[in-house]
């Protein structure tokens, strides 16, 4: 059986105190969510350490939202994979559409970040997804395939076994628009097929999360689809109650 995951991407939200409160709220209600569902919170870098402490022993994993392409050294302003691993992160989100769109993230930089993540035993949550124009032009399959081929196909079988993929249609992120459960299943099944073409049967074990205005009211339907293994949650992850309700939607 594939791992089920609900991950909260807090983006550039919460001050340390608020983040700790939110993390404690998630930890306190974690028991209401099935144990087999992996619950992950991804706070800003500034309070990862405090959040790790707040959820200790509570079966809540912590992830970072990005990491540097380089190992260490004279790269002002960057945060290395080694640093976030040292704080207790288990996951790192890579290739989020906001990073691709606003910060010039490319397959080239993402290949380096993936390498850094694996060197430090971090499990990448690699994001793919098309924008509105690409969706309207019917290019969504092609776009996701390319984002996977250029990065995921460079992984070894051993690395691939630790990968999580998040499909996030850019037109649904923070817009209140959600892909229908059918649209999600269609592309998730396609992504799995692309993965199968390279990694064979191991593709069956790779969790593929849906992201884009996922909330308590629509999570159940989306998660009921065969190839949807959970969600990467933005806005709704900022309230412990909503985030946990999404976890309970399985
Ligand atoms: P959203 O963000 O849930 O606010 O749409 C999802 C994401 O970008 O991870």
**Residue 250 and residue 246: Cα distance in Å, rounded?**
8
pLDDT, tens digit (0-9, with 9 covering 90-100), for 157-199: 999 999 999 999 999 988 888 889 999 999 999 999 999 999 9
Catalytic residue from among 130, 134, 168, 185:
168
Catalytic residue from among 96, 105, 130, 188:
96
Where does ligand 1 bind, in terms of residues with CB under 6 Å? Answer: 9, 168, 173-174, 211-214, 232-236
Measured in Å, residue 73 CA sits from the centre of ligand 1 at 32
Question: Which residue of 13, 209, 214 sits with most ligand 1 atoms within 8 Å of its CB, as the best mutation to test the pocket?
Answer: 214
- Asked if residue 167 lies in contact with residue 229, where contact means CB atoms within 8 angstroms, the answer is no
- Asked if residue 2 lies in contact with residue 204, where contact means CB atoms within 8 angstroms, the answer is yes
The confidence score (pLDDT) of residue 176 equals 81
pLDDT < 70 positions in the chain: none
Is 96 a known active-site residue? Answer: yes
- Ligand 1 atom nearest 213 alpha carbon: 5
pLDDT, tens digit (0-9, with 9 covering 90-100), for 34-54: 999 999 999 999 999 999 999
Is 158 a known active-site residue? Answer: no
- Asked if residue 151 lies in contact with residue 124, where contact means CB atoms within 8 angstroms, the answer is no
| pTM score above 0.75 | yes
- Asked if residue 45 lies in contact with residue 84, where contact means CB atoms within 8 angstroms, the answer is yes
Non-local (6+) Cβ contacts of 78 within 8 A are: 68, 70
Q: Which residue has 């999570």 as its token pair?
A: 219
Concatenating the DSSP letter of every residue in 92-125 gives EEES-HHHHHHS---HHHHHHHHHHHHHTTPEEE
């Amino acid at each position: 059986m594939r791992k089920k995951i609900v991950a909260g991407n807090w983006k550039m939200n919460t001050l340390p105190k608020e983040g700790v409160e939110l993390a404690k709220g998630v930890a306190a209600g974690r028991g209401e969510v099935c144990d087999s569902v992996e619950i992950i919170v991804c706070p800003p870098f500034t309070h990862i350490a405090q959040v790790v402490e707040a959820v200790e022993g509570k079966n809540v994993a912590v992830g970072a939202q990005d990491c540097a392409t380089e190992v260490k050294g004279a790269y002002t302003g960057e945060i290395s994979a080694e640093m976030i691993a040292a704080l207790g992160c288990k996951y790192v989100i890579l290739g989020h559409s906001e990073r691709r769109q606003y910060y010039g993230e490319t397959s080239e930089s993402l290949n380096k970040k993936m390498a850094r993540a694996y060197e430090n035993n971090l499990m990448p949550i690699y994001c793919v997804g098309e924008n509105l124009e690409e969706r309207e032009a019917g290019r969504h399959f092609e776009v996701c395939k390319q984002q996977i081929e250029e990065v995921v196909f460079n992984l070894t079988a051993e690395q691939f076994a630790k990968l999580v993929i998040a499909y996030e249609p850019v037109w649904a992120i923070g817009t209140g628009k959600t892909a229908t459960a059918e649209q999600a299943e269609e592309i998730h099944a396609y992504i799995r097929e692309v993965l199968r073409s390279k990694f064979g049967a191991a593709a069956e074990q790779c969790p593929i999360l849906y992201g884009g205005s996922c909330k308590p009211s629509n999570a159940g339907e989306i998660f009921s689809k065969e190839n949807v293994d959970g969600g990467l949650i933005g806005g709704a992850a900022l309230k412990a109650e909503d985030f946990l309700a999404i976890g309970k939607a399985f």
